[in-house]
Amino acid sequence: MKLRAIASCALVLAVISFASRVGAQESKTTAPKADRQYSGMYSFLKEGEFVQLTVEDDGRITGFVSRYGDGESDRDAFLDQYFKSGKLEGNKLSFITESVHAVWFEFKGTVERGEGKNPGDEAYYVLKGTLTYNATDAGKKAITHPREVELKMFPKESN
């Protein structure tokens, strides 16, 4: 009888030990979920232009910049420039757009709480950082114009 009780206790301890090791391994290998609340539409450089940002589970960022063209062939035409790459680590955000008509953008900065009082309010979140305008002219010369920006989240529609 004592032998059976000792064997049962040993089995229970072995199961508990195994379960705790598996749980510890899973917590090390499972990446934390990215903060999806940053997903949404943000202002861009001019009135009517915007950035659509979507935070994926793995911290990858998808989206696009929708802006007015500024070249001779596309002046005032609405252009969508999809993200070539993007990532969110904590509140650090970066993305690079695809090139459209030899122009692309790069953003490096942070997502911060803005002046909006409640989730869904305008400027509840703000993208702060350096936005770099990149272009290649007709002579294949690179043009870069970095500038500090504050891109405010648009208000979310209530249901």
Residue pLDDT, tens place only, 118-145: 988 999 999 999 999 999 988 889 999 9
Please tell me which residue, 146 or 76, carries the higher pLDDT value.
146
Average pLDDT for 137-156: 93
pLDDT band at 158 (very low <50, low <70, confident <90, very high): low
Give residue 34's pLDDT: 59
Give residue 33's pLDDT: 55
Q: Could you write out the DSSP letters of every residue in 99-115?
A: PBTTEEEEEEEEEEE-S
From CA 154, how far away is CA 41, in angstroms rounded?
6
Residue pLDDT, tens place only, 59-101: 899 999 999 998 777 888 899 999 999 999 999 999 999 999 9
* SS3 assignment, position 138: coil
pLDDT band at 15 (very low <50, low <70, confident <90, very high): very low
Are the CB atoms for 93 and 109 separated by under 8 Å? yes
Name 102's Cβ contacts closer than 8 Å, sequence gap at least 6. Answer: 71, 135, 136, 137
